[in-house]
Amino acid sequence: MAQRDPEVIDWRIDVDLADNSSRHHFIDTIVDISSLGHLSNPGLLLEPDLIGTIHTDFLWQRQRNRTYPEVAPLLYSSLLTVSVFFITALIHLGALRWCSRGMAAIPLTPSARVLAVAALLFTAHIAEIALYAITYFLAEHVFLVGGFAGLPIAAPLDYFYFSATAYTSLGIGDIFPTGHIRFLTGIEALNGLLLVAWSASFLFALMNRIWEWQPCVRPKR
């Protein structure tokens, strides 16, 4: 009986190079086919040159179709982050300067002055949170540098809510950023920490300066 020549299979495999799962499936398919051809079925062989050609073509196509990050979204995100950081710092500096200078001309008792300064600083923090919320809206809908996932953002108050959780480092996680907005969110947490500490140190200095302490009663001997 004449020996049958092994079959040579000519494979034509179309792969979606944008899909990572397809890439892995492509490599696994070549490995499985070559293993089956040489081990389980001696009559079925896959030419080694064909395997090398397919693998080389695949790597070349993957290199050619490789996507690189766009510069514009990264640049927009960086400019927005730096701008809002300095604007919030200027807002806070202006509020503290008015508390130490402008408010000094208003006659107030020490208790009333401390409450007035605390209320003004609280208002400054709310304004800074709102500024970050506006920046998130612009980053998502105008500059297109990212978005949000999780619970849907259906109203402007949702932006303010997310900004407040990031500013105070609360981080509930029901809404989370995607894309380059993540960089803005991280900087807001750092900025909020600095501004809250700035307010706390100012209130501490104010209490030491104007708060009236009554003499403590000493125990009788």
Residues of the chain scoring pLDDT < 50: 1-46, 50-52, 55, 58-60
pLDDT (tens digit per residue) in 34-82: 444 444 444 444 455 544 455 455 444 555 555 555 778 889 999 999 9
Domain boundaries along the sequence of the chain:
7-64, 71-210
Identify the pLDDT of residue 127.
97
Identify the pLDDT of residue 41.
44
Residue 203, Cβ density class (10 Å: 0-12 exposed, 13-18 middle, ≥19 buried): middle
Identify the pLDDT of residue 66.
54
Q: What is the dihedral of CA 145, 150, 151, 154, to 10 degrees?
A: 10
78 in Cβ contact with 183 (< 8 Å): yes
Does residue 17 come out as left (phi exceeding 0), alpha (psi in the -120 to 50 range) or beta? alpha
Sign of the C-alpha dihedral, residues 144, 145, 149, 153?
Answer: negative
Fold of 71-210: Helix Hairpins (1.10.287)
Q: What is the dihedral of CA 99, 101, 107, 113, to 10 degrees?
A: 20
Identify the pLDDT of residue 173.
87
Identify the pLDDT of residue 26.
46
Please state the pTM of the whole predicted model: 0.67
Identify the pLDDT of residue 19.
46
| C-alpha span between 122 and 128 (Å, rounded) | 10
- State the SS3 of 89-154: HHHHHHHHHHHHCHHHHCCCCHHHHHHHHHHHHHHHHHHHHHHHHHHHHHHHHCCCCEEEEECCCC
Identify the pLDDT of residue 93.
96
Alpha-carbon Rg for the chain, nearest whole angstrom, is 32
